[in-house]
Structure 1
Amino acid sequence: MNGRREKLLIVDYNLSRVADVAHMRDYARCRYNVDTLLVRGNPGEMDARLCDHVVGVDPLLPDFVAQACEALSPWRDHIRGGIVFSDNAVQSGAALLERIGLQVDSASLALGAFSKFEYRRAEARCRDLLESQRVMTPNCVLIRSLEELRQFAEAHPEGFVIKPSCEGNNRGVVMMRPGDSLVSALEELTPYLAAGVICEQVIPYRREYSFDGLGGLSFITEKVSASGRYPVEVAQVLPARLGRLEQETIRRAGECANWLVGQRDGPFHNEIKLSDDGMFAAVVEPNRRPAGMKIWSLAALVYGIDFYHLWIDSVLGDGFRPSTLEARCQAATVMLGVKHDRWFAPSDVASGSEIFPAALERTARQFGLPDDALRSVEFSWLSQERRYVPSIARDNSDFVASACVSLHESSVSIGDIVSSLRERWTEALESAMPADVSIREADIPVRRFA
């Protein structure tokens, strides 16, 4: 590639976002005639195929900015703009872009978008301000021992949440109820103790949403989570089914979170719980990156706007963004699991079986939908490897597949479609599998969250 051509600098990304990086790379190349320059730890062959130039520096290194600046020196005069695309790099990546002289949201406030504990500390410093906006600020402590865990449990007999301070995808999140074993909970979180484990007061609101967007352009996504000990996300729904008061409450809480973590022009995905009366909210966690679970892809379906393109425009172009969003359909990302605990690989499925189309067709028939009203947008197996899959998921790796669907019929709610589709999926999957073999306790692997 031409070393003198202008560059878009991408600071780190999670491997699950390869397609998103490729999507932005293609747009930057076609729209702005720029190459892509990637900085991430231990880059491999896939990174070299994905971007025009690759630099290997880990964003979690204490001297990341100095090392990255040195490694980027051959291209420094040709870097036109930059984006930070991972939680691990949210602070160090912003500091790197600031050092280079590129537009980026605040590096000094970015730690709150990486560490859940640091975000709660920022909330505590502004407790009066947040409570004046009807935003609850949960009590939160960092724990390092069983004794500290016991002390927090005694102070919160109604229950609490224990989770890693810096971890995504709902990994390691455990809901503690009265009578639950503290020893067992701490053992589950052992892999995270070195990086930090926090105990948090339970937010007493049942409904959960996310305040998503870029710059000042926002939308609200409805999150569907499992109940019980492991509150795993099973679906994301757009547009969220909310009244105006509820939308305003979530917007207010989401903007407060953006201020606390220094978001201004870049992307955000702030997870928020809402009270039953719609008047109070609490931030579960903020993120200064695009949402996962294909939420920006859902937004493109629902609103007809590509937020990945807008993000590139914001750093390479004139920064123009539309001011309003209008929904033209409903859409959802759905996580698909198994009916019974089992060892599973996609190769187990009988040859020629069309499991997801069959589940989609049965769901459409159940709701009496006209032809083409319920559409499959995307389907993928999460892994091709044989692995043990529990029927009750503890995190998002405990599903076997994910899918995106769109609904073009306003008389039916996509939320009801999601619930039915997940049931029809397990039925279709079971019918396409060989006869179940009973799983003995000795066959079940020891669970590790690392």
Structure 2
Amino acid sequence: MNNIFLILGCAKQRWQDLEIICEYVKKTYSLTTMLMVNKAHKEFYSVCDQVIEVDLSDQNFIALASRLLSEQKVSGGLLFADQALLHGTKLFEQLGIVCDNSELGINSYSKLEFRRQEKRYFSHAAKTHYFVPEFSKVNSLQDVHAFAVKYPDGFILKPISEGGSRGVLKLHAQSDFGAAYKQVECYQADGLMCEQLIPTFREFSFDGVGDISFITEKLVATGAHPVEVGQIVPAELTCDSAEKISAHGRLMNLWVGQQLGAFHNEIAYLESQGSTAAIESNRRSGGMGIWNLAEKVFGENLFHRWVDVAMGQTVEHIPLNATGKAMSCMLGSRENLIDDLTMITAQIQEVLAFELGPDIELFSLRWLHTQPHMLPSIPQSNFDFLAEACIYCAHFDLSNQALYERVQRAWDKCLYIGMKEEKCA
């Protein structure tokens, strides 16, 4: 009988985070790591002892998983994907291992249930300093038109249960609703919803595990597809603004039943009003390397702390004091690239590090795609980029926007150099 640490779900692009988790589990707790995941990618087999392909959303998942684990002793586990919340917490309760509230987990998985929980809360609580958007489930194009009439200043049309900005559209009175609806029809089976547009704001996330927390600032693309293109740790905020965002983040944790585990709560800050608005809540670590950025500036590996919590250890509150600034940037494609960059990825990384200059450290470059022709010209989700770069500056001299633009200029230049040298080879 193996002593197992069970991980439910993992997105392909997060296999390196999975590797951090598995290495720590083996080194610290001497457990066998088992991953149950919807689709098993080759990278998973290189970091986990056992990988089992299974539909996490299957209504019979608990019974199936119980049979697969009948000869194992499960000592701890993590829910590493949103879909794992559907049945994973119930499974963990049945196995007798540490997990957060199972009943409220649906409020994190379903954006519609989250809004309903928010509405219930504010039906008997003051909305001082909180902006609460109106919302509605939509079942047809006619429903979208009806919502647009109520909110002519704009609204969001999105799937009820998707991540990575997939299917999220920002619309206004002049938008082509028919074309927009066609773009999201593929998500109709799991449901669609509309939300009132939050007025002009800066976007942040309240991140952490257990009682350990920090605030990340986000850079978001303009236009119809509000895709996140950058993450910055620590966020640049006044003490008052930071406290408002943190308070809202803790409130969101309450709504989704988070107490011990990881959280990534996306929050808008309306500077002109001094108020906050919830965007969405996640009972997992944030994507786009957010915890890797945190380790760089705070010196604390939150993946390790998450495993410790899952193993029943008491993780004391740790004050996080930042040294320098770290940023992750999504790096897009461009016209006239060669069909396959696989053979020159190492060369591109070297050139990118050089072009950034001596005051900016490129400490991670994750390739998401190496075939540019497979990507849309305008990214519609976080899966429509070539790569994700994580950089670090020991000083705060550059503004966030200036730092982001510097990375993008360096990326454009190194892609050009890569193309040129490949063609001459």
Give the TM interval when normalised to the shorter protein.
over 0.9
Asked if 1 retains the 8 angstrom alpha-carbon contact of 2:148 and 2:172, the reply is no
Identify the residue that residue 333 of structure 2 maps to in structure 1: 338
Alignment of 1:245-394 (within 5 A): 245-277=240-272, 279-316=274-311, 318-340=313-335, 342=336, 344-347=338-341, 354-364=347-357, 371=358, 373-394=359-380
Identify the residue that residue 211 of structure 1 maps to in structure 2: 206
Identify the residue that residue 66 of structure 2 maps to in structure 1: 69
Deviation at 1:410, TM superposition (A): 3.1
Deviation at 1:46, TM superposition (A): 5.2
Alignment pair present for 1:33 and 2:19: no
Amino acid at match of 1:124: K
Identify the residue that residue 155 of structure 1 maps to in structure 2: 150
Distance 1:69 1:281, change over 3 A: same
Distance 1:278 1:32, change over 3 A: farther
Deviation at 1:332, TM superposition (A): 0.6
Partner-residue secondary structure (3-state), 1:162: strand
Distance 1:432 1:71, change over 3 A: closer
Q: Select 1:22's aligned residue among 5, 19, 30.
A: 19
Q: Deviations over 1:393-439 (max 9, x none)?
A: 2222332222111001233334421122213322332354359xxxx
Amino acid at match of 1:380: R
Q: Select 1:420's aligned residue among 397, 406, 410.
A: 406
Distance 1:424 1:129, change over 3 A: farther
Alignment pair present for 1:102 and 2:97: yes
Deviation at 1:263, TM superposition (A): 0.4
Distance 1:190 1:304, change over 3 A: same
In 2, distance between residues paired with 1:204 and 1:296? 29
Deviates more, 1:185-194 or 1:124-133: 124-133
In 2, distance between residues paired with 1:161 and 1:320? 38
Amino acid at match of 1:422: Q
Deviates more, 1:55-64 or 1:87-96: 55-64
Deviation at 1:380, TM superposition (A): 3.1
Identify the residue that residue 195 of structure 2 maps to in structure 1: 200
RMSD: 2.3
Asked if 1 retains the 8 angstrom alpha-carbon contact of 2:333 and 2:372, the reply is no
Amino acid at match of 1:187: K
Deviation at 1:93, TM superposition (A): 0.5
Alignment pair present for 1:127 and 2:118: no
Q: Deviations over 1:330-354 (max 9, x none)?
A: 10111112344x56544399x6994
In 2, distance between residues paired with 1:353 and 1:433? 13
Distance 1:384 1:114, change over 3 A: same
Q: Which runs of 5+ in 1 are unaligned?
A: 365-370, 436-450
Identify the residue that residue 166 of structure 1 maps to in structure 2: 161
Q: Which runs of 5+ in 2 are unaligned?
A: none
Q: Select 2:390's aligned residue among 397, 401, 404.
A: 404
Deviates more, 1:417-426 or 1:96-105: 417-426
Partner-residue secondary structure (3-state), 1:397: coil
Distance 1:154 1:22, change over 3 A: same
Distance 1:433 1:278, change over 3 A: farther
Identify the residue that residue 446 of structure 1 maps to in structure 2: none
Distance 1:193 1:352, change over 3 A: closer
Amino acid at match of 2:416: E
Distance 1:224 1:185, change over 3 A: same
Asked if 2 retains the 8 angstrom alpha-carbon contact of 1:249 and 1:278, the reply is no
Partner-residue secondary structure (3-state), 1:222: strand
In 2, distance between residues paired with 1:9 and 1:428? 41
Distance 1:361 1:19, change over 3 A: closer
Amino acid at match of 1:171: R
Asked if 2 retains the 8 angstrom alpha-carbon contact of 1:238 and 1:332, the reply is yes
In 1, distance between residues paired with 2:50 and 2:39? 14
In 1, distance between residues paired with 2:374 and 2:38? 30
Partner-residue secondary structure (3-state), 2:87: helix
Deviates more, 1:193-202 or 1:309-318: 309-318
Partner-residue secondary structure (3-state), 1:73: coil
Partner-residue secondary structure (3-state), 1:29: helix
In 2, distance between residues paired with 1:214 and 1:28? 17
Asked if 2 retains the 8 angstrom alpha-carbon contact of 1:407 and 1:414, the reply is no
Amino acid at match of 1:401: A
The sequence identity of aligned pairs, in percent, is 32
Q: Deviations over 1:172-201 (max 9, x none)?
A: 111102211110110111111111111110
Q: Select 1:117's aligned residue among 112, 116, 131.
A: 112
* Count of aligned positions: 421
Distance 1:129 1:296, change over 3 A: farther
| TM-score, structure 1 normalization | 0.87
Partner-residue secondary structure (3-state), 1:263: coil
Asked if 1 retains the 8 angstrom alpha-carbon contact of 2:362 and 2:390, the reply is yes
| TM-score, structure 2 normalization | 0.92
Asked if 2 retains the 8 angstrom alpha-carbon contact of 1:298 and 1:333, the reply is yes
Asked if 1 retains the 8 angstrom alpha-carbon contact of 2:338 and 2:419, the reply is no
Identify the residue that residue 9 of structure 1 maps to in structure 2: 6
Deviation at 1:52, TM superposition (A): 2.6
Deviation at 1:285, TM superposition (A): 0.5
Amino acid at match of 1:421: V
Alignment pair present for 1:175 and 2:161: no
